[in-house]
Amino acid sequence: MCRQSQDIVLQPFNGFEPVAFLTGGNDTDANKSSDELVTFNRGSGKTQSGIWWDLAARKRRTKIGNTNK
């Protein structure tokens, strides 16, 4: 989970609900949001583009580094 900056307005997109991932959110809402995003992207004809492709196939680093510590 993460905290929201007071000067940033989070906007949902393509089934993704960012509020579900804020501190105080719950796993059920976060999982539902992730599932809806996956469902949305499954219908896309682009299988080798976007952020997931850059991270997985091209081994690009994220701006925030490794958060799995």
Please tell me the distance from the alpha carbon of residue 33 to that of residue 44, in angstroms, as a whole number: 18
Q: Establish if 62 belongs to a structural domain.
A: no
Q: Establish if 43 belongs to a structural domain.
A: yes
Q: Establish if 3 belongs to a structural domain.
A: no
Total structural domains in the chain? 1
Q: Establish if 35 belongs to a structural domain.
A: yes
Q: Establish if 63 belongs to a structural domain.
A: no
Q: What is the pLDDT of residue 25?
A: 80
CA distance readout (Å), 13 to 10, 40, 63, 65: 10, 10, 21, 24
Q: Establish if 66 belongs to a structural domain.
A: no
Q: What is the pLDDT of residue 32?
A: 92
22: containing domain: 18-56
Put simply, whether the predicted model's pTM sits higher than 0.75 gets the answer no
Provide the residue-wise pLDDT of the chain in tens; the chain has 69 residues.
Answer: 556 667 878 888 888 888 888 888 888 998 999 899 888 878 777 766 676 777 777 777 766 665 655
Q: What is the pLDDT of residue 63?
A: 67
Q: Establish if 36 belongs to a structural domain.
A: yes
